[in-house]
Amino acid sequence: MKSITIISLFVLASLNAMAQKYVPTTNTLNKKVMFGYQGWHATPNDGSNNGVWRHWFGGRQPEAKNANFDLWPDMREYPADVLEATSMTYPDGSPAKLYSAYKYGAVDLHFKWMMEHDLDGVFQQRFVTDIKGRGGARHFNQVVRNVKQASEKYKRVYCIMYDISGAGPTWKQDLMKDWMFLVDSLQVTKGSSYLHHKGKPLLSIWGLGFDHTQFATVAQSDSLLDWFHKNAPKKYQATIMGALMIPGKRTLRTGKRYTIK
């Protein structure tokens, strides 16, 4: 009976180990479960020198009336050094704390969860309006570094997704400049976890064809696609995933289709 028990435990342990060994491929988007990863949460003393409660409280005082989120996240697994106390407390009187994505430990935990549940990875979002500013660029560049490191550690995948909402008439030049920065300075496409599709790094652009992004003309969009597909130096070329308007829908946030070229 003892030997049977030992064998059973060994089998269960082996099955559990096998379940934890799922590693997504990096050569295709097909059949992957991906999440939008904004990375926009920040706290005043997270080390970015921006000094704001970004997204949590819209830069205002960290109290309930200013909250920009609907549900309080479960913070029990977050490392202490990624958390910062708000003006609120829990029922037991302890300070209610929130995290900053500028801190690597917060992003590490998110990718650990994805690994534990066999989820593939994320679309790392870049907001063109934010990265044009020095503070926004500093925050979001660090988030990309964090995502790159965590995705490689936990063998998940990621790719960049630009959001051009509010970017204005220079959107195309700003996007191209930033992509070249990511490739050259942060070396995103050289990492072991960057997602490719159809033989090239995958890049998504959110906002083409929206009513509120009419500054992104058809001619500009076509020329940008041509640049990514064939006119750019080879190291900057990419497979583009874009969003298309659905007839009768003002926005793609309810019901969306994607196209990959």
If pLDDT is split at 50, 70 and 90, which confidence band does 209 have?
Answer: confident
Is residue 7 over pLDDT 90?
A: no
Is residue 3 over pLDDT 80?
A: no
| Mean pLDDT along residues 104-131 | 96
Summarize pLDDT for 19-69 with one digit per residue, the tens: 558 999 999 999 999 999 999 999 999 999 999 999 999 878 999 999 998
Is residue 1 over pLDDT 80?
A: no
pLDDT at 52: 93
Summarize pLDDT for 172-194 with one digit per residue, the tens: 999 999 999 999 999 999 999 99
- Nearest alpha-carbon partner for 37 in 160, 155, 125, 139: 125
C-beta atoms surrounding 229 within 10 Å: 14
Give every CB contact of residue 241 below 8 A, 6+ residues apart in sequence: 29, 161, 197, 202, 203, 204, 205, 258, 259, 260
Summarize pLDDT for 80-92 with one digit per residue, the tens: 999 999 999 999 9
